[in-house]
Amino acid sequence: MKKITIIMACMALAQTMQAGVPVPYSTPIADDSAWKIINVVEGSNAWEVKTTSDETGYDTDKVMKYNWDTRHAADDWLISPAVSLEGGKEYKVKIRCNIHKQEIVKIFMAIHDTPDVLKAGKILFDKAEGDTDYDKWNTQIFIVTPEESGDWYFGIWEGSDINKYSSQVTGFEVLENVFAPGKVTGLTAVPDAGKAMEVFVSWMLPAVDSDGQPLSEGYSIDNVYVYRDGNEEPVATLDGTATSWTDTESTGLTGGYHSYEVAVKVNGAMSVKEQTQCGFVGPIAAAPLPWDPDIKTMSKEDFDLFFTTGKAAGSEATGKWEFKESSWSGNNIQFYPKGKADDWLITPPLKSDKAGIYRFRINAKGNDSNPTQTEIHIGTDTDNASSG
Ligand SMILES: [Ca+2]
């Protein structure tokens, strides 16, 4: 019995030793609890999570920042979780950084996650004081080939002197070193403004690889793939020159909200998918009665989608019917005419299944000192609302 327990314990240990994250691995480091922050000198400044207003070139505005310390030299680490790598295989390690020329930053790689072992390991990046090439956001790429398979750790070391400036990092990635095209850019998906069942999807094709380097001579885009709602199968496979596509009922489009993804294949290698959200598609179905739009908690997006506002010929008002958010009194719809009004606020279509008497109730407030005239009409379309 005892023997079995020992064997089981050994198996569990073997498993934990291979528990590294797989590649491709990508993290902003900031707010990533798998990373260790080590501040060797107690009471000194440390790496901190910051939100930047700069365009970092990575999908986040969260960065790790070491800021100057007027009393202590830096000895500060950011250490990755274990990353599973295969011995003899080529990997690409990427990081986005913005480092002042006065700072000293090094990146190490080793099979243990302690500062001493990392410092004695492979050095990937060695920025000395005075190097001026890194003081705007830029991508550093290192090609590494680990000798042995297993879990590897990466350590980013800040070692600047007292009273220097700052270093910022984000977008740490480990990938196999194989060619991949860059993503499409400027992707949009716009529903038809007249509420027809149509979405116009457009994008710009990449001219670079996933590192932002120009595509090699002779490389061309084989195909462009469009995906709807996160499905793995593309909804359209297009020529490599395509920069737009229209989704319709004939390609399976239905009413409602959708998302789109677009990827390209270059010389047989797929890009990462770029994604975008699309507003409500198609006609608004008539709502059954009883109907309550619950204006107090309605969103601006739903107001724009379901309600119609407009000015008739007699309107000289510069104001218009508008949706206003209020956490105090609840959301509401307001109209401050500022001029002679002939302005409409029209509900979405409502459906009465049988003839009879219906009750219409609205909670409204006018202006005591400047009386208003408000009428309520019923009609069968938004262009002819005064017909009833
Ligand atoms: Ca420190």
Q: How far is the CA of 160 from the centre of ligand 1 (A)?
A: 10
Cα(371)–Cα(365) distance, integer angstroms:
11
Q: How far is the CA of 132 from the centre of ligand 1 (A)?
A: 23
Q: Topology of 22-176 in CATH?
A: Jelly Rolls (2.60.120)
Q: How far is the CA of 103 from the centre of ligand 1 (A)?
A: 13
Looking at every residue in the chain, the average pLDDT score rounds to: 90
Mean pLDDT of 235-243: 98
Q: How far is the CA of 56 from the centre of ligand 1 (A)?
A: 24
Whether the pLDDT of residue 3 is over 60: the answer is no
Mean pLDDT of 194-205: 94
Q: How far is the CA of 63 from the centre of ligand 1 (A)?
A: 17
Give pLDDT, residue 152.
97
Structure tokens at 258: 């959708």
Span 219-229, pLDDT tens digits: 999 999 999 99
pLDDT band at 388 (very low <50, low <70, confident <90, very high): low
pLDDT band at 322 (very low <50, low <70, confident <90, very high): very high
The H-or-E segment that residue 282 falls in is: none
Cα(301)–Cα(322) distance, integer angstroms:
12
Span 45-89, pLDDT tens digits: 999 999 998 888 887 889 999 999 999 999 999 999 999 999 999
Mean pLDDT of 212-233: 93
Span 337-370, pLDDT tens digits: 888 999 999 998 998 888 888 888 988 888 777 7
In the chain, list all ranges with CATH 2.60.40.10: 185-281
Chain length of the chain:
388
The 3-state secondary structure of 26-58 reads: EECCCCCCCCEEEECCCCCCCCEEEECCCCCCC
Span 6-42, pLDDT tens digits: 444 444 444 445 589 988 898 999 999 999 999 999 9
Mean pLDDT of 156-164: 95
Give pLDDT, residue 34.
96
- What is the DSSP-derived secondary structure letter of residue 297? G
pTM: 0.59
Q: How far is the CA of 168 from the centre of ligand 1 (A)?
A: 14
pLDDT band at 1 (very low <50, low <70, confident <90, very high): very low
Partners of 359 in the β-ladder = none
Give pLDDT, residue 15.
46
Q: Are 339 and 332 contacting, i.e. CB atoms less than 8 angstroms apart?
A: no
The H-or-E segment that residue 378 falls in is: none
Q: How far is the CA of 66 from the centre of ligand 1 (A)?
A: 8
Span 137-146, pLDDT tens digits: 999 999 999 9
Span 258-312, pLDDT tens digits: 999 999 999 999 998 888 999 889 888 888 888 998 999 888 888 988 898 989 9
Q: Are 66 and 46 contacting, i.e. CB atoms less than 8 angstroms apart?
A: yes
Q: How far is the CA of 71 from the centre of ligand 1 (A)?
A: 10
Q: Which residue has the tokens 């716009």?
A: 190
Number of H helices, E strands in the chain: 3, 26
- Surface-to-core class of residue 170, CB atoms within 10 Å of its CB (0-12 exposed, 13-18 middle, 19+ buried): buried
Q: How far is the CA of 156 from the centre of ligand 1 (A)?
A: 13
CATH of domain 185-281: 2.60.40.10
Mean pLDDT of 307-336: 91
Q: How far is the CA of 110 from the centre of ligand 1 (A)?
A: 22
Q: How far is the CA of 1 from the centre of ligand 1 (A)?
A: 51
